[in-house]
Structure 1
């Protein structure tokens, strides 16, 4: 039984084990389905709705969004559809270090949408254009503390308007639920292993408070908010105006 009082350190299979493209794509599709069932898109959609409501989005040019560790690209496509429906002109750049993810994301993206997929190490990536928002989903629990602090600093340097981290809350209930559910539904072995491990490697509020302070953010500069079921999201809105 994991010690839920602190973040786990067990590696996830998908981070280290190479599989053929078709198998990798199948796992990404299963993960997307799990995101849909767990209402995973709500916090990120709420963040964009808030920015629009507060008048923080650009009025004379497209909004520029980086999707950090974009995976299958479902979050970018979800926000792109929201932007279309709400009269927001937006451009998306999905950055993922796995070329199979970029290929799968490109195949799943309707033709003509303003979304570009780039294979790159996020920590080596420096945009040569103005970036408004950085968003990530189910990425930060993959990072050990020092790398996560570096990622927070990178978002601070990169995003003009703000950033959002959409991730999991560490708790025994989702850990054992995913362990049982993914086994019972015969999910891919990556899902059966990595799902519970993701929860054990995830966060509680105190973790984020310490990480934000270590990254140099003052208390209250970022908001830490729990979402049902078992999501813990961090948002930061700068003082920049559109």
Structure 2
């Protein structure tokens, strides 16, 4: 049995296999293809859609969204489908700097209103773009402190309404249950091994709150996730001088 302190601190030295430049292309493709199952079961995005995004659509009938670090693009596609089912139009731009993720997302089954770009958030800031909503899924634990600060600052500049970064919440229970429940999805992919590394690298709510800049709030998102949220109507315009990643 693992001691309670097993995940007492973030494991900043652990590296996910799919992040390595020499990751096996077939295993990587299977990993992207299986992300929709993981996100549908665990990530709580439909709840976040109802709480944060649908109210914007109700007010205006349509909205724009930026998905930062979109991976295989499944969250972006789900958001567009949920909005369409509710009778709204959600235009989603999904970006990822990794050419492998971009290629996979671009060749996935097309969903009306979703477009993909290989780009960093800072590039969109430099283009002067603005979106009603900025989101990300499972990227915060990948970032070093400078990158985290950059992405959050970029999000402040890019959003016209709300920015929402959803990530794993580190705990022994999450680690054990993920290992026990999702090992079948790990066969032939990086899902299980990298998922466990992700949990080891992720924050607790208190840790994330301690590194969040002013104006950002940590909110619970089910038992396994936490969200870092920024609401434009609660803020004043920030200093645009800092650069993101």
Q: Could you tell me how far apart the structure 1 residues matched to 2:226 and 2:150 are?
A: 19
Deviation per CA, 1:59-94: give whole Å up to 9, x if none: 5xx522110001111111111012212232221111
Aligned partner of 2:39 in structure 1 is: 35
Contact 2:66/2:93, CA 8 A, preserved across alignment: yes
Q: Does 1:48 align with 2:53?
A: yes
What displacement does 1:173 show? 0.8
Aligned partner of 1:6 in structure 2 is: 9
Contact 1:175/1:197, CA 8 A, preserved across alignment: no
* Pair 29,223 (structure 1): closer, same or farther in 2 beyond 3 Å: same
Aligned partner of 2:232 in structure 1 is: 238
Q: Could you tell me how far apart the structure 1 residues matched to 2:47 and 2:229 are?
A: 10
Q: Does 1:177 align with 2:182?
A: no
Q: Does 1:23 align with 2:27?
A: yes
Aligned partner of 2:70 in structure 1 is: 70
* Pair 171,84 (structure 1): closer, same or farther in 2 beyond 3 Å: same
**How many pairs does the alignment contain?**
228
What displacement does 1:38 show? 2.0
* Correspondence list, 1:92-171, <5 A: 92-110=92-110, 113-126=112-125, 127-171=127-171
* Pair 122,184 (structure 1): closer, same or farther in 2 beyond 3 Å: same
Q: Does 1:223 align with 2:227?
A: no
- Unaligned stretches of 5+ residues in structure 2: 235-245
Farther off after superposition, 44-53 or 144-153:
44-53
TM-score (norm 1): 0.83
Deviation per CA, 1:100-135: give whole Å up to 9, x if none: 212221222326x12111112334443443322110
Q: Could you tell me how far apart the structure 1 residues matched to 2:178 and 2:89 are?
A: 37
Deviation per CA, 1:113-165: give whole Å up to 9, x if none: 12111112334443443322110011111112231122111111111111101
Farther off after superposition, 159-168 or 123-132:
123-132
* Pair 4,145 (structure 1): closer, same or farther in 2 beyond 3 Å: farther
* Pair 44,211 (structure 1): closer, same or farther in 2 beyond 3 Å: same
**Secondary structure in structure 2 of the residue aligned to 1:239:** helix
TM-score (norm 2): 0.82
What displacement does 1:238 show? 1.0
Q: Could you tell me how far apart the structure 2 residues matched to 1:129 and 1:123 are?
A: 10
